[in-house]
Structures are given as structure tokens and as C-alpha cells.
Structure 1
Amino acid sequence: MKDELKEEDLYPPVKEYFEALGYKVNGEVKACDITALKEEELIIIELKKNLTVSLLTQAVIRQRTADLVYIAIPKQKKFKINAKWKDSLHLLRRLELGLILVDIKKGLRTVEVALEPVPFDRNKSIQASKKKRKLLIKEIEGRKMDLNKGGSKGKKLVTAYREASILIATSLQQYGPLSTKELRELGSDNKKTTSILNQNYYGWFERVKKGVYKLTEKGLEDLQQYPELVEYYKAQINSKIAKADKIGDN
């Protein structure tokens, strides 16, 4: 049975790494796992077997006294650069913490600095995510009702796209086959109507002839799952028709 890796096993390679850079390295100084001092620059390195909230808290507290703070953890045997890993790196960047990966296998010890502790530019980060922000706001503005419970998992979400599809389905349920022009006149989105009908993502629509669609049995059945939205859209449709009739009478 292999001996379990201990936090102290990370010390020698990390010590060697910083000594090679000209730092005076010491272990266990005033509750700090490792200190590295060169002239007036003080670096603190915390050793742990895994990234945890407790470790991050400890590292952030170390920033009160150190110029730079690193976290050193073992490099996983099946290391993968995936979404979870990238999110972890973003959090460390946000906290201005460095990350060192220590690989110990078959007597070989290697140190890899995965992330340097540099000042975080929040404005730059926001600019880089500008497109995601726009899409998020667009989705929020596209929803007419709040039908999803926050924190729920494994359930069908009522997205802005689904709501737009329900409006079309409600119109077809109420008036039978309609053209894309007629659907738009009843309130369907000017830009999305044709693509929603052509993609037919939910299997709710059937083309009768060019530019004219009807509701399928599946569409009629699925509409029953969204009574609040159906009633909301029926009222909206009836209001539009009433206004159109009033204008026509004048």
C-alpha cells in the first residue's frame, strides 16, 4: 500500500524552487507553512492537499502581511483543464492569489506555477465578459413571467425562447393555422417567429403550406403544462385584436 501524500511532502520541492530564485526559505514561521524572503519582498506559501474554502480564507488573511501569497497543492494524476478548473483559476485571480502545482511521482519532484499572484483588473474582466452580460440581460428582458424556481435542477426551464414558442402555440391554438405575418400581428417576435417555426425545436408546429403553420397534437398537449403563460398570452392577443378592431371601426 502506497503511503498517503502529506502536506509536508510538498515542502522540499517548493523550497528548492524559491531558493533557486534567490529567496531565503523557511518552514512554519508564525503559523505560515512557508516563507520566502528576498531583500524586502516577503512571499508566503500555504501547503494543502486540496483547494478548499478554508484554504482560500487562510491565504487571503496571509495577504495582510505578505507582498505575495501562493497556494501549493499536489497535481492530480488525472489532471484536466476543464470548466471547473478554469473557474477555480478565475477565483484565485479574483483573490490575487498564486497557485503552484507540485508533481511528485517515482522519486521525481516538479513544481509548476499555474498562476502568478498579480493585481486583478475587474474592469478588464467585465469587458471580456461583455457579450455574456448582453445575452444575460437579453434573456431577462425576454421573459414575461417568473416560472422557474431558483436553485432547481433537472427540471425543464421556461426560457425566453420557450415563452416565445408558447406565444406562437397559443395563437395557433386559438385561431387555427396562421401565417407568419398574422402571428407577428398577434404579438409574436418580429425576428424570432420564422426561425422558431422552422427549427420547430419542441415539435409543436407543422407547416401547412408556404409561410402557414398549425399546432401539432404534441404542441396542444404540451401547452397544458404552462396554464399561466397561456392565459397571459391569450389576454395579450385579445387585447391586440380589440385595439385593431377599434382602429378599424374609426
Structure 2
Amino acid sequence: MKESDMYPYLKKYFEGKGYTVYPEIEPPGNGTKRADIVAIKDQEVVIIEMKVGFGLTVIQQACDWKGYANQIYIAIPKPKKRNWMPPIGSKLLASEKLGLLEVDLKDYSNFAYVDVNFSRVREVNKAPYQPEASSAISIIKFITPYHLEGPNGGSQTGGHISGYQVTMRRVKEFLTDRDWTTAKEIADNVETHYYAQDKSASLKQSLLKWESEWCEYKVIKGRGYFRIKSGQS
């Protein structure tokens, strides 16, 4: 059993509620922490942290997203026992304003009478809505359609869409069908993940060091210019 086994059911559950679901999101401003699932509807942000078992570790992971989401949930596989939650667990969820979802991972392939469309996700504790989540807007601004291409939430194999990757995709789109272009012109027209005051310098360094496979560089009259290599657009 893996965390990622829960992802398809959680994705379907939140999409059924009108959310767009993004896996493995590493938003700016929270170190290198990566949320298993981010669900967005209009200006509402929900973050879901998945674990194969309930405990202090996942509670702490969920708490790390306070201020970044209007609702925060912990998702675990449905336990075999009923009334498994210890009283201290319920108190912690309530005090930290966290919700709890159980995901039924039982194999029903041999149960002919089971409705295949039934929801495998049960909301055990509803996460309180927190309108004061001041950093939620930063996640909304950060996420792009590119992030839909990431691996399943809870994946341990890497492959998540980083801010750097989004920047370089945008740069490549901007340079498509353009001739030689300066790093400053690119930085002035493309939203990037760089925080330096001189974003063009950071962009230039990255293009020269890491993106030479598709991007070429040339000095013309003392100024550096970039363009997409022939056949790489």
C-alpha cells in the first residue's frame, strides 16, 4: 500500500466538488516543502496531505500548510477497525483545525453487487474554513496548467513540476518564432520564479548553464542574445 494509491480517488472526490486538482505542488515561500495535493476552486485553496497511517508526523505535515490553504485535510486509507481514533487524535484535529478523510482501498473487483461509481472517500472530520489564509493567493498565482502534468500525489519517484521548469517552459514559448533576444527582454515579458532584483542576470545564467540543449547564445555588438536552436521549437 502506497500513499499514491489514494490519489485517484481523492482526485475524483474533489473534482466532483468542482475543484481542479494538482499533484505534488512545491509553492514558493515554504522552503522545499511539497504538498501531496492542492485543490483549487475559484479563490479557495484546499491542501491534502496523505499518509498510510494516522499519527503525529502527518499532523505536523498538515500544520506546515497553515496560512497557505483555506482548508487542510489529512487523508489515510480506511482503517479495518471502527472507532479507531484515540481521543487525543480527535482533540488534535480540532485544535489544529484539520480535516480527516478516509479512502477505501479495498479491491472490489470480485464483488458483482458493488456500484463501481460509489465514492471511496469519506469525510470523517470536516476541515474548518479559514478565510484568513493570507498565503493562499500565492499558491493560486504560482500554479499553472503545467502542474497538471505532475506525477500522482504521494509519489516517491520525483518528477514534480518545479518553479524552474515552469519558468523555462514559459521562456521557450516566448522565444518561439523570435529571433535573437536579450535576457532582459525575456525577463521583462515572462513571469519567472526568480526573486533576485535583477531577474535577467539569474535567467541568463540559467540559460547558459542548463539550457544549452535547446537554447543558443550569441554576442552581437557587445550584448548577449538568446534564441531557440533550429529544430528545437
Give the alignment's TM-score, normalised by structure 1: 0.43
Q: Which has the higher contact order (CA 8 A, sep 6+)?
A: 2
